[in-house]
A and B are shown apart, each in its own frame.
Chain A
Amino acid sequence: MAQHNLGTVISFEFVRTVTKLRFWIGTLSVPVIMAVVFGMIFLSNTSTSTAAEAQKNAQFSISYTDASGLITPADAAAFGAVPAASSDAGIQDVRSGAVEAYFEFPAHPESAAVKVYGADRGLFENGKYAAVAQAMLARAVAVRIGSPQLSGLAAGSAQVETVTYQGSEVAGGMNSVIPPMAFLVVFYGLVVLLAGQMLNSTLEEKENRVTEMILTTLKPTTLITGKVLALFMVGLVQVAVFASPILIGGLFYRDALSIPAFEFSQLVFDPLRMTVGFLILVGGFALFTTTLVAIGAVMPTAKEAGNFMGVMIALIFIPFYSVSLVISEPHSPIVQVFTYFPFSAPVTALLRNAFGSLGVLEAAMVIAILYVGAAVMLRLAVRLFQYGSISYTSKVSIRTALKAGSRHAVAGPAEK
């Protein structure tokens, strides 16, 4: 009976959401806005080089080999680079931590890529290796300008391939960050798009005065669970809609759109990080939804609930304001607080997980916190809805609702 009702609630809530014109206007507008934003980023791409400028000045220890003979010891010394005995020795130095980076300049840098090996310093920092390698080459050839081939190199158009090491292991770099990062993107999208609907989902019964009919027809837990699951499904539909132009564009029209070489096959799917990411996504979504549903059950109108929702969203996305801290210093106290405080945990932990700085034990704790938090919130939301939502026009006293709930629980078993 209850199982059957859960299905009925899910299908009713899901169907009535996705059959509304409003839903599709909202959903389809996102890919359009995304396209506009990407277009603008593409047009203003030049600005990224300024960031590289700054990184060039970062000091770190370098060894190099030069098969082209372009780089004089004086050029190298200007960057604090020392020659390595061989390519293998250079790589070995990076892996053992003796130097931070080893550059392998090829015999023909105008056609072959400069190979850069560096200690993994995180996504934003790793760019400095390539920047410095290019700067070294550019300085070396600046004196020999005259040949068109060389002036091309001087303008910084040498190709550079970067390999970074975590300890002695090759780190996946961007390719290993992207897949688990997708969970953060999905989480962000779900929350931004669905927050209003989550909040409204229980307010709806109140504002339409259907609470009494509903509560005497089915268990509040069934109703709330059904609503949460239906919302999750709605969210998946939206994510699928948003992702479809990217996937279609990426898979079929890559050449036509001249998207920079980006091979899906190169993405590194670390099973542990993917699993952790998925679990955090689901747990975070569940916690967030049940919290909003609880808020909806307490507040008499959407307007009043909206204020609380703002605070919630701020809490959830506060880690974004300190994103560089989260990535570069995952063990600083503030990042620790963000990691374990239930509402900031999903974003913080998903970020750290994507950049590989979330240990297994930490991940397990975060996941536990999220699931326990969601379960507690679900119970709270159900109680608030059950004992509070008849007060159509006034705020529910949380204490009254909880008291009523607990007395109910005590009274229950006393009946035969």
Chain B
Amino acid sequence: MDEPVVHISGFRMDFADTTVVRDLSFDVRAGETFGFLGSNGSGKTTTIRALLGLYEPTAGVLHINGRPFKPEHGSRLGYLPEERGLYKKEKVMDVMTYFGRLKGMDRHSARQWSLAYLDRVDLSGKAATQVDKLSSGEQQKVQLGVTIMNRPELLILDEPTKGFDPVNRRLLMDIIAEQKNDGATVVMVTHQMEEVERLCDRIILLKDGTSEAYGTIDEVQNKYGGRVVRIRHTGPIPPSPHYEVTLEETNYAELSITDDTDEAAILRELMDAGMVIRSFTTTKISMEDIFIRVYGEHNESPSPAPGRLAATRGA
């Protein structure tokens, strides 16, 4: 039980002469929901494909249940690839039963399960419809159904909610949460930070092909300042070794606490400096803010892109 479900260490991936992922290591533990985060092009999909044996890693160890993944090992995997697709010219039910059978269900239970699932996601009338006659969101629902057929032990979802409206996104998150409650281990790529906060136990943040932050949400939040104080006030904010002013408007400010000073001590410090405080709340730094901090601002990576852009502009 102590053995991680997913174990990656020293993973490196080169395409031709570009290195896309380097020295990436992390574990996913049994039963947890793991958020696999990172900006576009940071190497998430590449890592998943290498983990599932679709790409040959340049270096490193990528294990599922202690060995490299092979479909014939019979580990119950539910994989929702980023590149979605089903057999388009077949009927919804035929495709679902086909995959159900490949995943080890018998024809009858695959049909029963599919009918119930289609009912649940509001597609009850579409069992006999050809897949390409469905809207793209509907096709995605079918695909998620295929993914979670036969109660997978490990779910790997590459952007499961992309392309869904808010109602269906909620439905989907509920379905994923159910899988988790049933004991499935979930690895999820997403760009929706509220989903991360709602569902994930632990996360990894990928930047430029390697780990930028890794741990529980709390641990990651602490790494990026952890607690944030929001105040409505009048009067200037005094400098202090205990916090950093991250936002300052006329009567509103956000302070990021940089050490483990108690919130009450901070409040006292501000009032002692003669400020009038009308409201004082402390929160955790949001994942969204962390994301923007990591990828948005000090993005001084030595990428050739800006130079090239400048050159084109100059010409």
Q: Which residues of A contact B (CB under 8 A)?
A: 1-2, 5, 8-9, 12, 16, 20, 204, 208-213, 215-219, 387, 390, 392, 404, 407-408, 411, 415-416
Q: How far is the CA of A301 from the CA of B67 in the complex (A)?
A: 35
CB neighbours (8 Å) of B84 from chain A are 209
Q: How far is the CA of A248 from the CA of B217 in the complex (A)?
A: 75
Q: How far is the CA of A241 from the CA of B295 in the complex (A)?
A: 64
Q: How far is the CA of A70 from the CA of B237 in the complex (A)?
A: 136
Out of B49, B74, B81, name the residue touching A213 (CB < 8 Å). Answer: B81
B49, A1: Cβ atoms closer than 8 Å: no
**Interface segment out of the listed B95-103, B166-174, B305-313:** B95-103
- Max chain A Cβ within 10 angstroms of own Cβ: one of B53, B56, B77, B88: B56
Residue of B nearest to A408 (CB): B56
B94, A208: Cβ atoms closer than 8 Å: no
Q: How far is the CA of A16 from the CA of B97 in the complex (A)?
A: 13
Distance to closest chain A CB from B87 (angstroms): 6
Residue of A nearest to B54 (CB): A390
Can you add 13 more A-B contacts, CB < 8 Å, to A8-B101, A208-B85, A407-B56?
A: A5-B102, A212-B54, A212-B83, A213-B81, A213-B86, A213-B143, A215-B71, A216-B71, A216-B79, A390-B49, A404-B56, A408-B56, A415-B68
Residue of A nearest to B84 (CB): A209
Provided the pairs A1-B104, A8-B102, A216-B54 are in contact, do residues A208 and B86 lie with their beta carbons within 8 angstroms?
Answer: yes
Tell whether B146 is near chain A: CB-to-CB under 8 Å: yes
Q: How far is the CA of A66 from the CA of B74 in the complex (A)?
A: 82
Q: How far is the CA of A217 from the CA of B90 in the complex (A)?
A: 19
Tell whether B260 is near chain A: CB-to-CB under 8 Å: no
B99, A217: Cβ atoms closer than 8 Å: yes
Out of A204, A210, A217, A415, name the residue touching B67 (CB < 8 Å). Answer: A415
Out of A1, A8, A218, A392, name the residue touching B83 (CB < 8 Å). Answer: A392
CB neighbours (8 Å) of A216 from chain B are 52-54, 69, 71, 77, 79
Number of A-B contacts (CB under 8 A): 77
Tell me the interface secondary structure of chain B in the complex. Answer: loop
CB-CB nearest 8 A-B residue pairs: A209-B85, A212-B81, A404-B56, A8-B101, A210-B85, A208-B85, A216-B79, A12-B98
A204, B68: Cβ atoms closer than 8 Å: no
Provided the pairs A208-B85, A390-B49 are in contact, do residues A217 and B54 lie with their beta carbons within 8 angstroms?
Answer: no
B72, A1: Cβ atoms closer than 8 Å: yes
CB neighbours (8 Å) of A390 from chain B are 49, 54-55
| B64-122 at interface with A (beta carbon < 8 Å) | 67-72, 74, 77, 79, 81, 83-90, 94, 98-99, 101-104
Residue of A nearest to B81 (CB): A212
Provided the pairs A1-B104, A213-B99, A408-B56 are in contact, do residues A219 and B72 lie with their beta carbons within 8 angstroms?
Answer: yes
CB neighbours (8 Å) of A212 from chain B are 49, 52, 54, 79, 81, 83, 85
Out of B49, B52, B87, B99, name the residue touching A208 (CB < 8 Å). Answer: B87
Q: How far is the CA of A68 from the CA of B94 in the complex (A)?
A: 76
Q: How far is the CA of A213 from the CA of B102 in the complex (A)?
A: 11
A217, B56: Cβ atoms closer than 8 Å: no
Out of B56, B71, B143, B146, name the residue touching A387 (CB < 8 Å). Answer: B56
Out of A8, A392, A415, name the residue touching B98 (CB < 8 Å). Answer: A8
Provided the pairs A8-B101, A408-B56 are in contact, do residues A217 and B71 lie with their beta carbons within 8 angstroms?
Answer: yes
Residue of B nearest to A212 (CB): B81
Residue of A nearest to B63 (CB): A415
Distance to closest chain A CB from B299 (angstroms): 29
Distance to closest chain B CB from A385 (angstroms): 11
Q: How far is the CA of A249 from the CA of B279 in the complex (A)?
A: 97
Residue of B nearest to A20 (CB): B89
Q: How far is the CA of A215 from the CA of B67 in the complex (A)?
A: 17
